[in-house]
Each structure stands twice: as C-alpha cells, then as structure tokens.
Amino acid sequence: MSASRPHPRILLRLLGFLQPYKLRLFLAALALIVAASGVLLLGQGLRLVVDKGFASGDSQWLNWALVGTLGVVAVMSLASACRFYLVSWIGERLAADLRLKVFAHLLTLEPEYFHRNGAGEIQSRLTADTSVLQSLFGSSLSMALRNLLTLTGAVILLLITSPWLTLMVLLGIPLTVVPVIWFGRRVRKLSRSSQDQVAELGSYAGEALQGIETLQAFNHQQEDRKHYGQRVEEAFSVARARVFQRALLTGFAMLVVFAAVGIILWQGGQDVLAGRMSPGQLTAFVFYALIAAGAVATLAEVAGEVQRAAGAAERLLELLAAQPRIAAPEQPLPLPAKLQGEVSLEAVSFAYPARPDQPAIKNLTLKLRPGERVALVGPSGAGKSSLLKLLLRFYDPQEGRICLEGQNLKSLAPEAVRAAMALVAQEPVLFTGTAEDNLRYGRPQASEEEVIKAAEQAQALGFIQALPEGMKTWLGPGGVQLSGGQRQRLAIARALLCDPRVLLLDEATSALDAASEHLVQQALDHLMQGRTSLVIAHRLSTVIAADRILVMDQGCLVAEGTHQELMQTSELYQQLARLQFQN
C-alpha cells in the first residue's frame, strides 16, 4: 500500500470494467435524471396544491393538482426503482468482474509473492476491497449524481422563488451541515473501532475453540475466560461511546434542521404577509431548501466513501500490476510428446529473494536418469526442499541452469514443466470438496475408471468406498475428516492420476504409524515404478531401495552412492543413518 492518500482519480482506471455495460449505464443515467426531475417537480406540485387548491378554495384545481402530484410520484418511484436495480446490478457486476480478474491474475504469480506480501492480506483485498468498490459504484456514486442534480435544480428554483431567502439558505446550509458531518465522522471512526474490537473478539474466540483440546488439557479455561472478558469490556466501552455520539448526532441533527426550517418559515411568513410571495411559493421554498440541505449532507458522506474506495482501488490495482517473476517465454519450446523423465542441473546456485546473502543451493551439478530412483538426504537446512521447488520452477536459480529432457526450464512454459512432474508432500494439501474432487485435482477430465484405478493403486479405494457417500463424500476443509495416512494415500492417488514422468516426494511416511506407513509405502512403490523419482528420505527403507543416494549439506552435494558405499565413505551419512534413518 502507498503511504500517501490515493487520489480519487485512480477510480477512473476502473471505468474500463464498465465498458461492456454501456447500455445499462445509459438506462441507469436516464432513470436517475427522471427520478431527480420528479423530486424537483414535487415542489411545484405542492405550490399548486396550496395556491390553487387550499388558498383559492377551488376544489377542481385541488383535485387536478393532487392527481398531477401523485402522477409525478408514481413516475419518480418507478424511475427510482429502475435506477436502484440497474446501478446495484452494475456495482455487483463490477465487483464480480474485479474479483475474477484479480483472482485469475493472482494464480499466475509465484509462491514467493504470497510469502512476501501475506496471503491473508491479499485475501482481504480480494474480498473486502472489492466490496467497498461495489458499494461505491452500486450505490454511493448514483446517490451523489442524483443529489448533485437535485441540489443544482433546487438552488435554481430557490433563486427563482426568492433570491433573498435563497441567500439565507446558502449561508445557513454550511452552518447546519458542517457540525452534522463532524459528528458523523466521529461516529464512523468509533464504528470502525467497534468493528475492529468485535473482529478481535471473534479471532480470540476462534483460536481458543480451534485449540479446545490443548486449552482444556492445560486447564486454561479460567485464564481464557478472564482474557475474553477483558476484550468484551473493551468492545463494550467503544460501542457505548459510539452509541453516545450517535445519540448526540441524532439530537443535534433534528435540532438544527427544525431550527433552520423555523427560521425560513418565519422569514418566509413575513414575505407572505407583505405580499412578496404566496403561501404555495413558501411551501415549495421550504421543500427545496430541505432537499438542498439533504443533498449537501449526502455529497459530503459520499466524498468520504470515494476516498475510501480510492484506497481500495489502489490496493487492487497493485495486485493487477504485479508481474510474475516466473513466466513463460514469448515462444516456449515444446516438450517431446513422449517424455523419458531425464532431469539435470548444471552448476546451479540459488538464494531466496528474502535472503539473498544466504545461498540455499551452491554450485549443484547432478543428473537424474530416466526411471532412476534417487534418495535425497541431509540435515535440516541442507537445501533438499529448495531443490524440489527449483525443479517445479517455483523459483529460478541465480546461476546455472536446470533442464528437463535436455531443455532449459526457462525456455519452457511453467505449466508444461509442472504437467511432467508431480509432488507428494510430507503434509499433503487437500481442498474443500469431495474425495473425487481431490483425486481429479490435477486431471479434471479423467474418466471414472481411471479415478478408481488410481485410488486402488494408491491403497486408497478401500477407505474411500467405506466413507458415507464413497467418492462423493464431502471431506471438509483440508480433508479434516481423514487420518494422516488416508490423506497421504489420497495425495498419492492424485499424483498417480496425473501420470507424471518425474516424481518429487518429500518422504510421505515419516509421521505415520506403522500400519499407515506400510500402506503408504506400498502406494509409493507403485507410484515410483517406471518413473524418475527424487525422494527426500527420512526412512532407512527408502534409502536402501534407492538406485542412488545424494547427500547434501549447507546447499552442496557432498557425497553420492549406494547405502553400503556411503556407510564406508561419508561420515555425515553415517551420522544421518544413526540418527534419522531408523525404522
């Protein structure tokens, strides 16, 4: 976000989103003009009712004036309804289009962007900021235009009716409206503070309830009740101040409005008694004065909304302006139709953008032959996970090159690279949806038979069929209804369904019990058959089954060979074997 206040002019950059809806905009503008004109005509209707009906005692004129006024009200009401629908539709459509465009653009950005800027902050922009703009374009701007039209018309008609009284009104409007605006800002500020306090209450309660087992296990109920009670009282204090200011605002607004009307009626009454204006003109004058005062107050409110929306627009446009660091070249090279799964790294060095002085990978050269099963071992911070991220091209190395089938990853489309690979993480990520949705995640067009086969090969079909609705069972956020072993097998089935040539595995059995580990290991063995596999190993069984073992330390490849060879030649590997690779 920018440090300075965004200029409202930034909202003009959003007008392109309204281009497809020009007809609706035209119809909304037409309805707005008709509705505003109807409001102004009501004043003339009131004048005729008083002067031609009541004052003259002519019942026929009274009837015609009332019928005409009701006709104006009917047209005005219809136009207002049309305006409300059209403008609200445009606001909702703008918000929907913005959300879709921003979300689609966010999906093109590399993971580092979200680590750098915070996924929660970005999510807030996608939801809250688009809602602010929806409110502005779907309501506030329409109100501003309508009140600007009615203010202009009301001032003109006031001048025509009585220039002297009009001068009083124009001088009096700021004196009555400014204090109301000042009170209104205080109420809005306190309202925001109250909302923040309530949001903090919800956050605290949510954290406590999500960790209810830990909370109760440590007998922390009394402390949490006390802390929550303190926050409740703080929220109540802010709410009480808000209600008090709101009460003052309401009372003051009523006082100044009726006082202003009283002054106008007194001065206007003098003019009526002196014959300088008719009772109907005075009635119309008071009507227009009230309209003018209300219009000024509304315009002042909308000005605040415009400034707030400008900030929201700036934050959303910042997201749209973000350029992905990992992007396909203008003319990406095609991969062979039948991939072999050959991967090579040539003098690769890499440091994370947030830590440029701390290389995660240093001058790494290696080659994975098609169909080879390679285990990657090393202490924490050795660069193992960083290597998997480079292969998936979540990042590009600062030096050297990484090749798939002999072609530099930078010359290929990232989508093509990732389609050739599959990742099974130590903590697999499942998404809200059914078991079938999660299985099809990487290949939505797969047939039902292919889905069932992949689940069977991953040792997952049995537990999936045992779920209440089988494949159609809703798993909830993150697959919370499944055990760790079940989530792993579902993730392996998802990878199998993609049929990748290169597998990247962050040992999927390290945190499982013996029974689950056995099933997951069987699924992994099936998954790795005939595929090039790079496995971050935590188990002795995994490293022994590998064709080759790579030992990494502080971003460097320090040893490689079979288990027996490394037990003889690598002191670091011997330490890892004693400490980590134990069943």
* Alpha helices, DSSP H, located in 499-555: 514-528, 540-545
The pair phi, psi for residue 429, each rounded to 5°, is -100, 120
pLDDT tens, position by position, 472-501: 998 877 787 888 888 888 988 888 888 889
How confident is the chain (583 residues) per 10-residue block, as mean pLDDT?
A: 60 84 91 86 73 62 74 87 89 88 90 81 80 82 83 84 77 70 71 69 78 83 89 86 77 72 76 76 78 76 75 85 87 89 93 89 93 90 90 92 93 91 85 89 89 88 90 83 85 87 77 67 78 85 85 92 90 84 55
Strand partners, 346: 401
Mapping DSSP to helix (H, G, I), strand (E, B) and coil, where does residue 414 land? helix
Nearest to 395 by CA among 408, 410, 406, 380: 410
**In Å, what is the CA distance from 126 to each residue of 73, 200, 478?**
41, 21, 21
pLDDT at 1: 41
pTM of the shown model: 0.74
CATH 3.40.50.300 holds for 343-579: yes
pLDDT tens, position by position, 538-573: 777 778 888 999 999 999 999 999 988 998 998 998
Task: Report residue 208 as tokens.
Answer: 């406590």
22-93+150-306: CATH class: mainly alpha
Contact 378, 552 (CB under 8 A): yes
Return the domain boundaries, the chain: 22-93+150-306, 343-579
- For residues 394 and 411, what is the distance between their CA atoms, to the nearest angstrom? 15
**In Å, what is the CA distance from 513 to each residue of 480, 485, 582?**
18, 8, 14
pLDDT at 55: 53
